[in-house]
Amino acid sequence: MKVLRCILLLALLLNARVMFSTSVVNQKDSIRISLLTCAPGDEVYSLFGHTAIRYQDPQQKLDIVFNYGMFSFKTPNFLWRFIKGETDYELGVNSYQDFASEYIYLERGVNEQILNLTSDEKNKLFQLLQENYRPQNRVYRYNYFFDNCATRPRDIIEESINGKIHYQNQISSKSFRDIVHEYTANYPWTRFGIDLCLGSQADLPITLRQEMFAPLYLQRSFESAVIKTNNNYSKKLILSTQNIIPEREDGIAGKVAGVTPWQASLILFILVTSITIYGLKKRKSMWGVDLILFLSAGIIGCILTFLANFSEHPTVSPNYLLFVFHPFHIIALPFTIYKGIKQQKCLYHILNSVVLTLFILLWALIPQRFDLAVLPLALSLLIRSASNYILAYNHNK
C-alpha cells in the first residue's frame, strides 16, 4: 500500500513538473517581437519613412515600441549642429497605443513583420534593447546613411540571433543618390537642395546592406532573409507580415506643384540673358545683376565649402559643384563690381569664364550627377562674366 502511494505521489510530482515546464515555455512563446515599418511622411525628416521594434508580452501586459528616431528641434544649437552633422538622436520607448495613434492621425501606413526568433533570442533582444535604453546608452550620433533609425534596429536584431542572417539578392545597382531621388520625386525643391549638398561619393554603387538605411528597403530585405545556424539549420527571418495601420489612399503626398527648380533656373537664365543683351547694346555694365547673382552663388558656395571640409555629414565631399558655386564670388565681388562700373578688364571674370565653360563642356564626364537646374545657373554666371569682359574690351578699343 505504501509502495502504491509512493508511486502515485511520484507520478503527481512528475505531472506537475511537466505542466510547470509547459507553462513556462508557453509564457516565453507568447512573447512576440516585430519590426514596424512606417510609410513616408510630408516633412523633410520623414520623407524616407521610419523603422521601430515592437515588443509584446501578454503575460506581463506589455505592448511597447522601441524607437531609435527620437530628436528635438529645441535642442540647444540644433540648426548649427545639424549643419555640422553633429545631430544626436536617442532611443525612445512608448506604448504601442501612443505610437499607433500618432501614425493614424498622420495617415501614414505601418506594416508589421513578426520576427521568427527562439525564446532565447527574444530574451536576448529584449535585454539588448533595455541596455540600449539606459540613460548613458540611449543617445547616439546620427548618421544619415550609415547609422540611423533603420540601421540600428537591424544591427541589434542581428546581434540577438544565434546564427547569421543571410539576405537574398546581395548585388545592388543603386547609389545613395538614386534612393534619395526615389523618395524625393514629389518634392523637387527638397531634391534640388539635397543634390546641391551631396558630393560625388553619393553616386558610387552601394551594397544591399547600405541600401537598408531606407526603412522600406530594410523591410524588403527582411522579408526574404533567412537565418542560418552553425548546424546548417535554416529558417525564414519573418514569420508573417501584416498591415496594421492603413496608408492614406493617395499614398505619399507632396505632388509636384508650382514652379520647379528647373523652371525657376530657366526663367532666371532668360532674364539674365535679356538684361545682358540690353546692357551690351547700351554699353552699360548692369552691375546690380552681378551683385545679386554672384552674391547668391557665393553664399551657396560658402555652405558647400563648409559641408565639404568641416561637416560630419557623409558623402558631401568632394563636391564638383564648387567649380560653379564657391566663396571666391563673394571675396572678389567688390573688386569685380568696381571694374564693371569702370568697364575695365577683370582677370576674375576671365578665369571664371574659363572654369564655367570647362564645367559645362565636361558636364557628362564629371563623376558626379548634377540636377539639370544647375545648367541654366552656370550659364547665367558665364554670360555675366563674359559680358563684363566684352564691355571692357569694347571700351578700351
**Total structural domains in the chain?**
2
- Asked whether residue 299 is domain-assigned, the answer is yes
Mean confidence (pLDDT) of the chain: 89
Residues 294 and 360 occupy one common structural domain = yes
pLDDT above 90 for 229: no
| pLDDT average, residue stretch 25-44 | 83
Residues 219 and 331 occupy one common structural domain = no
User: Helix or strand or coil: residue 169?
Assistant: coil
- Asked whether residue 234 is domain-assigned, the answer is yes
- Asked whether residue 53 is domain-assigned, the answer is yes
- Asked whether residue 363 is domain-assigned, the answer is yes
Higher pLDDT, residue 227 or 257: 227
| Sign, CA torsion 369/372/377/378 | positive
Contact 285, 279 (CB under 8 A): yes
pLDDT above 80 for 177: yes
| pLDDT average, residue stretch 160-171 | 85
- Asked whether residue 25 is domain-assigned, the answer is no
- Asked whether residue 256 is domain-assigned, the answer is no
Q: How far apart are CA 214 and CA 212, in angstroms?
A: 5
Tell me the sheet residues that pair with 140. 89
Residues 221 and 92 occupy one common structural domain = yes
Q: First vs last Cα of the chain: how many Å apart?
A: 133
Residues 146 and 268 occupy one common structural domain = no
Quote the distance between the C-alpha of residue 189 and its chain's center. Answer: 16
Q: What is the CATH number of the domain that holds 79?
A: 3.90.1720
214, containing H or E segment? none
Residues 219 and 267 occupy one common structural domain = no
Chain segment 40-99, per-residue pLDDT in tens: 998 888 999 999 999 999 999 999 999 999 987 667 776 677 778 888 999 999 999 999
User: Alpha helix locations (H) across 258-373?
Assistant: 261-282, 287-310, 328-331, 333-342, 347-361
As a whole-number percent, the residues of the chain with pLDDT over 70 amount to 88
Chain segment 9-22, per-residue pLDDT in tens: 344 334 444 333 33
The pLDDT value given to residue 68 = 95
Q: How far apart are CA 61 and CA 244, in angstroms?
A: 19
Residues 137 and 265 occupy one common structural domain = no
Contact 110, 100 (CB under 8 A): yes
| pTM of the complete model | 0.86
Which residue range is the domain that position 295 belongs to? 261-396
Residues 90 and 157 occupy one common structural domain = yes
Q: Rounded to the nearest 5°, which phi and psi values hold at 171?
A: -85, 130
The pLDDT value given to residue 14 = 42
pLDDT-derived band at 232 (thresholds 50, 70, 90) equals: confident
- Asked whether residue 64 is domain-assigned, the answer is yes
Chain segment 121-164, per-residue pLDDT in tens: 999 999 999 999 999 999 999 999 999 999 999 999 999 999 99
| pLDDT average, residue stretch 322-331 | 97
